[in-house]
Amino acid sequence: MRLLESRGMTIEDRAFAERALATVSYYRLSAYSFPYRSSSSLNRFAVGTSFENVWNNYRFDRRLRSVVLDGIERVEIATRTKIVNRFASQYGPFAYRDASNFASPIDMARFTRTLDFIDEETRRSNEEFVAHFRRTYDTSNGMPLWMAAEVMTFGNMLTFFRMLKMRDKKAIARDFGINADTFETWLKSLNFVRNVCAHHGRLWNRHLAIAPGIPNKDPRWHEKRYPIVPHRIYSVLCILKQLVDVIAPQSHWPARFKGLLAEFPGIHRLSMALPTGFENSLIWQ
């Protein structure tokens, strides 16, 4: 605490700050203080910066990860379902084991790794549906795709999508109202963000290493008053809003995000690239 105070941070409740720093390391918490650093020195805080400011950023980020994960879960399950329905109806329930049913030329190492993962996870699975299939049917060809998909991670699902023939990608993406190439970039970015959340990483002001593509012909993504910066979390929130509107239009997910912002009125929104009045943009209507 002395270090923080020596750099200009105000600590009103020292007992609380001690407890916080005992459970959340100084190094981890310091990442949430960057918006309050002095313009003249990173080792000084701007006048008026309090420990509570930084702690609220940390609390907001933790809650934000929960909201984002909820949206990603909806997208993951819906995308997995679309992939299974399209692929199984076109090629058959066990056709995912035949490389000729995917785009050519196929990366055989990637294809083999995907099959090996599915086989290993189904062997290890204690799920009743897996045990029932083993007891009842011949498993020499593995599990039907609709069962195999249940053991896939988001990353496996993304790999599967990337290996598909273009006509299958287009059919799946069309159901979400987006073109296949852009949808693939969205899945890549969502997979990155999901991994950040799963490892309790900082999300609120992160520069996204894998940025999503911006739909070229969709005017909702090109409003000058509400710019969308691909490498910031606001772009992912827009993706989730658009996809959740398709997947579950009755969902209260957008209201949860807006409610979170209302709980933390002092949050540094610029770090998220959140435009002022974004609620009035076409995407968020």
Confidence (pLDDT) at 250 = 94
Q: Token match 């009045």: residue?
A: 277
Picking from 260, 266, 271, 268, the residue whose alpha carbon sits closest to that of residue 279 is: 260
Confidence (pLDDT) at 3 = 74
Confidence (pLDDT) at 25 = 86
In the chain, domain spans: 1-15+33-53, 61-280
Percent of all residues in the chain with a pLDDT value above 70, rounded to a whole number: 94
pLDDT band at residue 44 under the 50/70/90 scheme: confident
Percent of all residues in the chain with a pLDDT value above 90, rounded to a whole number: 69
CB 5 within 8 A of CB 11: yes
What DSSP string describes the chain? -HHHHHTT-B-S-HHHHHHHHHHS-HHHHHGGGGGGB-SS-TTSBPTT-BHHHHHHHHHHHHHHHHHHHHHHHHHHHHHHHHHHHHHHHHH-TTGGG-GGGS-SS--HHHHHHHHHHHHHHHHH---HHHHHHHHHS--TT---HHHHGGG--HHHHHHHHHHS-HHHHHHHHHHTTS-HHHHHHHHHHHHHHHHHHHTT---TT---SSPPPPPSS-GGG--TTS---TTSHHHHHHHHHHHHHHH-TT--HHHHHHHHHHH-TTS-GGGGT--TTGGGSSTT-
pLDDT band at residue 163 under the 50/70/90 scheme: very high
Can you tell me the mean pLDDT for 127-139? Answer: 69
Note the pLDDT tens digit of each residue in 231-277.
Answer: 999 999 999 999 999 999 999 999 999 999 999 998 989 999 999 99
Confidence (pLDDT) at 127 = 72
CB 183 within 8 A of CB 94: no
Q: CA-CA distance, 163 to 116, in Å (whole number)?
A: 16
